Amino acid sequence: MRTADFDFHLPPESIAERPAEKRDSSRLLVLGRDGSREHRHFSDLPAYLNAGDILILNNSRVLPARIIATKPTGGKIEITLVSRLSDRSWTALTRERYSGILSAGDRFSIELVDGKTVNFSSSNEMTEIINTHGLMPLPPYIRRKPDRNDRERYQTVYAEVEGSIAAPTAGLHFTDELMNKLRERSVLVRMITLHVGTGTFRPVKAEMVIDHRMDEEKFEMDASLMSEMREASERGNRVITVGTTTTRTLEGYLAGKCSIYSSNGRIRGATDIFIHEGHRFRAADALLTNFHLPRSTPLMLAAAFAGRKNLLNAYNEAISMGYRFFSYGDAMLLL
């Protein structure tokens, strides 16, 4: 497949700049692999899940990883922390290769090296700077500054393990009430952790899809999850993965496309699996996801599950019906 085969026209007004007033009031497009489509709301999700099904979510928590620092000359530089190197150093993304001491707020200083590494004075000071002065790292297609509301809404209600620089956005639609309804229906809710890094969103620049390479992302999950998934399959139940990060974790593990080690009942590792058309899904029987960017790897994963033409036809219908796209947008359930 060519990367251009995953392009589509999206009017700018279709991009959600802010979240829905209530998380589960988002719309839900239910797409069957036979091409059938239903238009519902996310609060209707329990109607599609049965007792004994396993719903698997990513409980990674987003860091307020964007820091606006000041140069000695007074100029501003925007820094996005990407991955932790030590108890006081991070790799970073910036728009210039600056090296020097910067002010972070009124009381703190940080060192930026070649626009790629940030050094803090101590781990305690690093934590205080991030928590006090850090902004939520909203994606660039949201053309506004992060505000106080984003601290809550660009985070799932079940987020627990801090480490992502972007939200696992399919989970943003869940509320505590909806989670309780699912458990009341005897749906088994389970968590994995994959910290979302730059690799998930790195543009596909290769002409042919197969030539793209993903960056590794770290994950962790209970070792018992694999046996629970097998048992669900044996009794005729389904595994529903929430988001492309959750899907990549489980598919990467079952396909042997990851480095792993186990200890104390936990599986830890990293995966660079790139799921595109031709992939045989071993974990996901259904996929809950958002509407993705053209030419993106999450779009290609969803197309591998639902069929490219089927998915893009649904996207075109969603656009015509005023669905909201991307991180703060609406959701799809692929059956």
End position of a domain, from candidates 75, 108, 134: 134
The dihedral through the CA atoms of 259, 263, 267, 270 has a sign that is negative
Report pLDDT for 305. Answer: 98
- Domain containing residue 221: 3-62+151-334
Instruction: Please indicate, yes or no, whether residues 298 and 164 belong to a single structural domain of this protein.
Output: yes
Please list the rounded mean pLDDT of every run of 10 residues in the chain (335 residues): 96 97 98 97 98 98 95 95 92 94 93 97 93 92 94 97 93 98 98 86 89 92 96 98 97 91 89 95 98 96 98 98 98 98
CB atoms within 10 A of CB 84: 14
Q: Which residues pair with 258 in a beta bridge?
A: 271
| 80 and 10 co-located in one domain | no
In a domain, 159, yes or no: yes
**Interatomic CA distance for residues 110 and 119, integer angstroms:** 6
The count of domains in the chain is 2
Core vs surface per residue 165-189: b (16+ CB within 10 A) or e: bbbbbbbbbbeeebbebbeeeebbb
In a domain, 48, yes or no: yes
Question: 200 Cβ partners below 8 Å, 6+ apart?
Answer: 166, 217, 244, 245, 297, 298
Whole-model pTM over 0.75: yes
pLDDT on residue 260:
85
Same-domain check for residues 184 and 305: yes
Is there a single domain that holds both residue 85 and residue 226?
A: no
Q: Is there a contact between 29 and 39 (Cβ–Cβ < 8 Å)? A: yes
Instruction: Mark whether 167 and 316 lie in a shared domain.
Output: yes
Residues 54 and 73 in one domain: no
Distance separating alpha carbons of residues 267 and 261, to the nearest angstrom: 6
* Per-residue pLDDT at 257: 87
pLDDT at 199: 67
